[in-house]
Amino acid sequence: MDYVLQLLLLVLGFFLLVKGADLFVDGSSSVAKLLKIPSVIIGLTIVSIGTSLPEAAVSITASLQGSYDLSIANVLGSNIFNLLTVVGASAIICPFLIDKMIMKRDFPICIGLTVLLAFMLIDNTLSRIEAAILFILFVAYILLLVMSALKNREEQGEDYKVLSPTKSALFIILGAAGIILGGQFTVNSATFFAKAFGMSELLIGLTIVAVGTSLPELVTSIVAAKKGESEIALGNVVGSNIFNILFILGMSGLVHPLGCDPNALIDIIILIAVCAVMYFVCITDKKATRPEGIVCVLLYVIYVVYAILRSYGIIG
């Protein structure tokens, strides 16, 4: 009976995280529009951060509860899932051209930050000073995006709907409550299953929790692909991966220094390799094709199988 209850709480946690993030973004975007903030700035800040709120809620909650492996594993697992499954699924649904600006600016930044994180975790810890560096870099990256948008002066993206001040406040409060509760349910249930089945927090974070908290990115990219706008997928993924490293680990590490399983270094190396290969393929082909999308999804399946076998000591 405990297993059924915890499974239901896990599913409920994922639902609250995703729905809470949606409400929070809608409410915050509406307030921003009421304050006459341009749509492009809203998209680059509130909405971009909003898709990373589920990961942030889980990682910060895990940090507060002492499940430090889960904090780092969630980010690593989400980033690998985003690059392989989200981009792969989008390419399968609708092959797309690669945006030049992403390849020139954002993707190299993403690779560089992943390498920086690897160096920070060589000692299997993320100190408060290192977390502060990540958060400062997050603020700098946001400023870079905003200045670039203001320089181009283009109103890109959606024209976000304006809600009444009361409804906006209600959405923000309900969204924040959903994110907080969803994070607690997800962390508690994930920890329960890890202990019940002898699984490490690293494995739970890399797989189940990573996939669950990456649902906003997956849904956004698939919907965009169906509308013939699948080029959004790569920008969504690269931006989310940057925010995951800078915002989520920065915030989590500031709450409490994070420790990580020594095997997490292997996963960071895998993530760096995936980033490098994806970058090379995108630069070379300038287009994401269906065969490449299928290969990406299959590689993710292979990675999950490897992570499971490694966790149980079947392979090194």
41: region left, alpha or beta (phi > 0 left; psi from -120 to 50 alpha): alpha
* pLDDT (average), residues 239-257: 91
In a domain, 240, yes or no: yes
- Give the residue carrying structure tokens 């408060």: 128
**pLDDT score, position 80:** 96
In a domain, 297, yes or no: yes
Residue count of the chain: 316
Decide: 91 and 296 in contact? Cβ < 8 Å: yes
- Residue 42: pLDDT above 70? no
Longest dimension (CA), the chain: 58
**pLDDT score, position 245:** 95
Structural domains of the chain, count: 1
- Residue 155: pLDDT above 60? no
* Residues of the domain holding 301: 2-311
Tell me the whole-structure pTM to 2 decimals: 0.85
Decide: 264 and 121 in contact? Cβ < 8 Å: yes
Q: Distance between CA 66 and CA 91 in Å, rounded?
A: 38
Decide: 237 and 221 in contact? Cβ < 8 Å: yes
**pLDDT score, position 67:** 77
Tally: H helices and E strands in the chain: 17, 4
DSSP state of 162: P
In a domain, 33, yes or no: yes
- Residue 158: pLDDT above 60? no
pLDDT band at residue 270, thresholds of 50, 70 and 90?
very high
86-135 pLDDT per residue, tens: 899 888 988 877 878 788 888 999 999 999 999 999 999 999 999 999 99
In a domain, 200, yes or no: yes
Domain of 61: which CATH number? 1.20.1420.30
* pLDDT (average), residues 7-12: 89
174: region left, alpha or beta (phi > 0 left; psi from -120 to 50 alpha): alpha
pLDDT band at residue 160, thresholds of 50, 70 and 90?
low
In a domain, 316, yes or no: no
Lowest average pLDDT, out of 138-142, 171-175, 221-225, 235-239, goes to 221-225
